[in-house]
């Protein structure tokens, strides 16, 4: 549900196609790898022992993840436990390529669905 958007605005967002630059792809978190740890470690405001909470958010709330050609998480946005916009991060060497906008649109589309 999108609380502050009309149905027409929601549909316009759902119709928005996100095209990533070459070498990038949307992905799902691989919980058997270090994906969750990479996402957690990039959060400037993380608390000690925050990783279990980050994993819970990734398992249960909308998120968006972009990986590079090496399958490394380079841009991500996760929601809070209240489904608000939470942690968003793009690794410095991947900035200025539209990845933050892409994860914002992707995560918003997932929230509406």
Q: What is the pLDDT of residues 73-107, one digit of tens each?
A: 999 999 877 666 778 999 999 999 999 999 999 99
The number of domains in the chain is 1
- Is residue 1 domain-resident? no
- Is residue 54 domain-resident? yes
Q: Which of 45, 55, 34, 32 has its CA nearest to residue 89?
A: 45
- Is residue 70 domain-resident? yes
Report field, pTM of the whole predicted structure over 0.85: yes
- Is residue 41 domain-resident? yes
- The domain that holds 36 is classified in CATH as 3.40.630.30
Condensed to tens digits (0 to 9), the pLDDT of residues 50-72 reads 999 999 999 999 999 999 999 99
């Amino acid at each position: 549900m999108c609380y502050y958007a009309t149905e027409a605005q929601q549909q316009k967002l759902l119709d928005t196609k996100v095209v990533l630059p070459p070498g990038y792809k949307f992905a799902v978190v691989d919980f058997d790898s270090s994906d969750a740890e990479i996402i957690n470690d990039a959060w400037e405001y993380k608390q000690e022992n925050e990783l279990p909470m980050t994993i819970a958010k990734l398992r249960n709330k909308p998120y968006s993840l972009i990986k590079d050609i090496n399958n490394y998480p380079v841009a991500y946005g996760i929601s809070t436990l209240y489904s608000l916009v939470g942690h968003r991060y793009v690794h410095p060497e991947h900035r200025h390529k539209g990845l933050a906008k892409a994860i914002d649109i992707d995560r918003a589309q997932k929230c509406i669905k």
